[in-house]
Chain A
């Protein structure tokens, strides 16, 4: 019941928020987000570190299609759940005033859609039935669509449409594979969408490859990976930074989450078969994302594209098939969520002050707003993988695993660290240092609300930078299970 409560809380919250009087909407919405955070923490305390699915519940949903309402969390799911429940209240606070400004669809809509998105995302991370996963996976798109289209800068309607079309395309391609799994299970004598049932079936290698292709394309669009990433920068540019946090830090994780859960979990042979291609795509994403980010003039596009590079790292970690790589990748998913959320939110505060997102038109913010500049620097350095901040740990793990996989893969991945330092520091230099833009008003520093929003993220970056063990303890049992299903021992690299 715990997980059902966890999903229902924000869902009910969304409905209630949509119908309470306007003045109360924000408080009510935030209340539900806080309650969900609490439920998430309770879930974590009930979870005992170890392998396998926990807190499971299974009910038949559509009998004639073998669909179940089945939930459960393992290490991976738990971390994603926690990331979600932590980030949503922060996003709501960040959008407190902004969503109510003229031209946007109103705070009530923002809060309600965000809570709906939270509910669907939590369901995605806890679903243990492939069709249930698919249903909520697609259902996340509707709130996301209205969040992008209803809030942010001019041209957002177009960006929202582009986002939705890309995601729907991926989802529908995946649908073919989902149905394929149903047919496979029906032919095996038990039509069922339960992951546990499907994992028990020995699917022949050729079928696996077809099914893999469907799942992987969908998750690559979601994650995003080169060459299906082009929706990403448009979306982050036009949407509010709060929405971008929801999209990039939570929703996009579904892509890599799905690769671990479905590609590796259900189609191990095909995953190994596809490794060379996936690794190359991941490397291209890493380098290409960083290079393109360097060339951007729009702060939000830049941050969006750095995520392309980071997701490349995550996918690389997953597909080198070693315990270090997988653990690093999952840790990276958490760290990227925190670091990128910090970057987006600071950038959002900055843009609200300067009135422009163009790097060329900014400058000298450091003097007027040292606190803002400080947060911006830490976020940039985290993205660049500075030791002492949490992304460093995960990036190192992935790079080590990449070298174990093949020295060439490792060396290409290492290049990205240099590029990342370059885009992060160069962006900082151009926006924060030097003389201010002529005739521009003095940029006021962050107020207490804004510092309060950013502080927890900063603390988490530092804490997990020095002490990632709690996260790794949760991750490792999952990694062992996962690699065992692919047929690789605990210590093994590629065989």
Chain B
């Protein structure tokens, strides 16, 4: 029996993580003790301050962090080696925090629906009952959404930084549980929203089970939860390789579920459609970033020596995700479902970058690395997605948001600015040059092709053509189709949503025209520490 050693906690390096967690807890306290009238203001202020504080922390830590073990990678292990604060972690933290700030702004929007937020007045009331009507009449609104979101952000930060399987599982759960709840809190079409939450929860819980089982098997194989130890075990080829392979497979199920890869994508359209749009905006962007960070850390750090086992699997899943996502997106008539399937296709494109990993001695000098490419892609995708969903929340009719695509006909005349911005986001997702999406695609395809994965790149190019069709179709509806009936109306947003959209669009343009700084930043982030 080894003696319990109290881990030392690196407070400075962990400050961003602790700040978000602290703010989440503070939010709960406010919810319990502050009077209803001030809660909204207090929660939004605290959440924003906490996120900005954490973001400042990320910058400070990034400036301070030293080379690890005199290698190329920079960073430190914290809390007894369970959390890796390294370049990629810090990059992802910065990205998640930026997206979360945009998310809070969207959560706090109250101009679109007659002075109340997009969340249910009182989630506990049964839809269609007098209690619900009373809650609506009293203009109730849930302000728990802010602490819930902060917990999710904390999970999104812990997940990709976790350096052992247990911490990673904790991160996964902390990230997921609040999102399940948030999905069910829509103000309008509540049954759809609750259904989506339940689906998300059931499937998510199931996938977590897979992850846990995989972790157990990998522990059985390597005798340790620690990534470095697992890597060591794989290198030395100890134990039964069937344990390793099955464990890898089960862990992959859990992670691929979170990124929404085929064949684990079934939840995305329902959840994206049913959940409140601000939640979808934040979740779609943030979860993907965090889960890909975790996926890469697990595969690169713990299972890097076993690359030949998992790379073929990722080839197949990437190709499937791209084609299934793009093809099913074409058949959709609801804009949120369309964006959901398009996110599945994007998962495929990002996986193309992930599987383009090469050993550092195989890389040509100055060539882009797969980690750099994927981090850049995640940045472009995150901001385009959050911006696009923010635009979706503006287009409304008397029943709330109008998500049927054919109802968007004539938007180009009705509101040229909104249509132009949405078209711009769609073009970015299609990967048209001079938008960020193009540089992202270029980066991941380059990494994959350099690693010799040309069949995947060819498939990705063909899938891009299919995907281009679906985005162009939406643009055509907005600009060139005659409006159905009265046509869509655009709600005038407050400065909150407007800022989010403007920043998203500006970044999408800037990252398309001058991608150098962010690409370099992703390059400076370097490798995972091992």
Contact = CB atoms under 8 A, between A and B. Distances in A.
A149 B480 contact: yes
A186 B468 contact: no
Q: Which has the most chain A C-beta neighbours within 10 Å: B368, B427, B458, B520?
A: B368
A61 interface: yes
Q: Which has the most chain B C-beta neighbours within 10 Å: A64, A66, A149?
A: A64
B366 interface: yes
A306 B516 CA distance: 45
Contact of B523 (A64, A135, A180): A64
A176 B457 contact: yes
Given A63-B520, A135-B433, A157 B481 contact: yes
Interface string B229-242: 00000000000000
A190 B439 CA distance: 20
Contact of A191 (B364, B432, B481, B516): B364
Contacts of B431: 172
B479 A64 contact: no
Given A157-B476, A186-B364, A179 B445 contact: yes
Given A180-B449, A186-B364, A186-B367, A160 B433 contact: no
B364 A64 contact: no
B468 A191 contact: no
B433 A65 contact: no
Contact of A64 (B430, B445, B461, B520): B520
B450 interface: yes
A228 interface: no
Interface string B355-383: 00000000011111000100000000000
Contacts of B442: 65, 131, 175, 179
A172 B366 contact: no
Interface in A50-66: 61-66
Nearest to B452: A183
Interface in A200-250: none
A156 B482 CA distance: 13
A168 B516 contact: no
Contacts of B446: 65, 179, 182-183
Contacts of B473: 161
Contacts of B468: 164-165, 168-169, 172
B423 to A, nearest CB: 9
B368 A161 contact: no
Contact of A66 (B366, B449, B465): B366
A172 B461 CA distance: 6
A118 B472 CA distance: 22
Interface in B457-490: 457-458, 461-462, 464-465, 468-469, 472-473, 475-476, 479-481
B438 A135 contact: yes
Interface in A128-161: 131, 134-139, 141-142, 145-146, 149-150, 156-158, 160-161
B366 A161 contact: no
B353 interface: no
Contacts of A138: 432-433, 438
A474 B309 CA distance: 58
B432 A187 contact: no
A21 B445 CA distance: 44
Interface in B479-522: 479-481, 515-516, 519-520
B264 to A, nearest CB: 27
A168 B520 CA distance: 29
Q: Which has the most chain B C-beta neighbours within 10 Å: A65, A141, A173?
A: A65
B452 to A, nearest CB: 9
A139 B472 contact: no
B434 interface: yes
B443 interface: yes
Interface residues of B, number: 41
Contacts, number: 109
Contact of A63 (B364, B449, B450, B516): B516
B519 A64 contact: yes
Given A62-B439, A160-B476, A169-B465, A139 B432 contact: yes
Given A135-B434, A139-B432, A168-B468, A191 B449 contact: no
Contacts of B433: 134-139
Contacts of A191: 364, 366-367
A189 interface: yes
Contacts of A139: 432-434
A134 B433 CA distance: 8
B450 A183 contact: yes
Contact of B366 (A135, A149, A186): A186
Interface in A64-103: 64-66
Nearest to B477: A157
B363 to A, nearest CB: 9
Interface string B113-143: 0000000000000000000000000000000
Give the contact-size bracket for chain A.
35 or more
Nearest to A185: B364
Q: Is the interface of A mostly helix, strand, loop or mixed?
A: helix
Contacts of A164: 468, 472
Contacts of A146: 479
Contact of B516 (A61, A156, A187, A189): A61
B427 A175 contact: no
Given A61-B516, A161-B472, A172 B480 contact: no
B366 A142 contact: no
Contact of B465 (A131, A156, A168, A187): A168
Q: Which has the most chain A C-beta neighbours within 10 Å: B427, B430, B445, B519?
A: B445
Interface string A392-417: 00000000000000000000000000
Contacts of B480: 149-150, 156-157, 160
A423 to B, nearest CB: 32
A407 B457 CA distance: 42
Contacts of A66: 366
B345 to A, nearest CB: 13
Contacts of B519: 62, 64-65
Contacts of A179: 442, 445-446, 449, 457
Given A169-B465, A191-B364, A62 B438 contact: no
B465 A65 contact: no
A64 B372 contact: yes
A173 B365 contact: no
Contacts of A135: 433-434, 438
Nearest to B464: A172
Given A62-B516, A183-B450, A189 B364 contact: yes
Q: Which has the most chain B C-beta neighbours within 10 Å: A61, A176, A187?
A: A176
A63 B364 CA distance: 15
A149 B441 CA distance: 27
B438 A165 contact: no
B364 A187 contact: yes
Nearest to A66: B366
A472 B519 CA distance: 45
A62 B514 CA distance: 7
Contact of B472 (A61, A64, A168, A180): A168
Contacts of B364: 186-187, 189, 191
A165 B516 contact: no
A146 B475 CA distance: 10
Contacts of A187: 364
A156 B481 CA distance: 10
Contact of B365 (A131, A149, A189): A189
Q: Which has the most chain A C-beta neighbours within 10 Å: B365, B433, B442, B446?
A: B433
Contacts of B450: 183, 186
In the A-B complex, the 7 residue pairs with the smallest Cβ-Cβ separation, listed nearest first, are A157-B480, A135-B433, A186-B364, A168-B468, A138-B433, A169-B465, A186-B367
Given A66-B366, A134-B433, A168-B430, 18 more contacts: A62-B439, A64-B516, A65-B442, A138-B438, A141-B432, A142-B427, A142-B432, A165-B469, A172-B462, A172-B464, A172-B465, A173-B465, A176-B445, A176-B449, A179-B442, A179-B457, A182-B449, A191-B364
7 contacts: A131-B442, A157-B476, A157-B479, A160-B480, A164-B472, A179-B442, A179-B445
